[in-house]
Amino acid sequence: MRFLTRPHQLPPRVAAGLIILNSGLTKRSAGEEAAQGLHGMAAGTYPFLKDVDPVRFVRLLSAAEITLGTALLVPVVPPLLAGAALTAFAGGLVGLYLRTPGLREEGSLRPTQHGVAIAKDVWLLGIGAGLVVEEVVRDRSRTVVVTRGRSSARL
């Protein structure tokens, strides 16, 4: 088995992976009331979720979090794939923070007491974006450049 993750990528992947995996496992046993609350908050921000059954929504969210958390923890999952998935997931959380009334102080990006827990998810966005940027820059630096009929490999 070949690890695709480089050693310096392991700490942020493990930190994010454990938090997201735990969240997904916790949501697996969420009751009707918790499902209604999570769904209500998400549907308020993302109206296309309004017609999804709350229990189904939480089951799907749980499965997505378990999958993403596992992908981050398993070093054979390519960093670009894990980073892109984490960036998309965290982007949704940051969007939730930015669009949900009462999570931010009026006219500011500063969180209210209710918004602190979601505002902190910006670190997930940073980890995901960092993995993606590193892989894109790394791949570009390894491409073959052809100039005036000659080629040279960049490493």
The whole-number pLDDT of residue 141 equals: 67
Rounded CA separation 50/43 (Å):
5
What is the end-to-end Cα distance of the chain in Å, rounded?
Answer: 24
Residue 1 pLDDT more than 80?
no
106 — pLDDT class (breaks 50, 70, 90): very high
What pLDDT digit, counting tens, does each position of 36-83 carry?
999 999 999 999 999 999 999 999 999 999 999 999 999 999 999 999
Residue 112, SS3 per DSSP: coil
State the pLDDT at residue 5: 85
pTM recorded for the entire structure: 0.84
The answer to whether residue 154 scores a pLDDT higher than 80 is no
Phi-psi region of 152 (alpha: psi -120 to 50; beta: other; left: phi over 0): beta
Burial (0-12, 13-18, 19+ Cβ within 10 Å), 60: middle
Model pLDDT, residue 44: 92
What percentage of the chain reaches a pLDDT higher than 90? Answer: 81
Angle, in degrees to the nearest 10, between helices 10-28 and 122-141: 140
d(CA 129, CA 135): 10
Task: Give the helix, strand, coil percentages of the chain, each rounded to 5.
Answer: 65, 5, 25
Rounded average pLDDT over 96-121: 93
Summarised one tens digit per residue, pLDDT across range 81-101 is 999 999 999 999 999 999 999
- Where are the chain's structural domains? 8-153
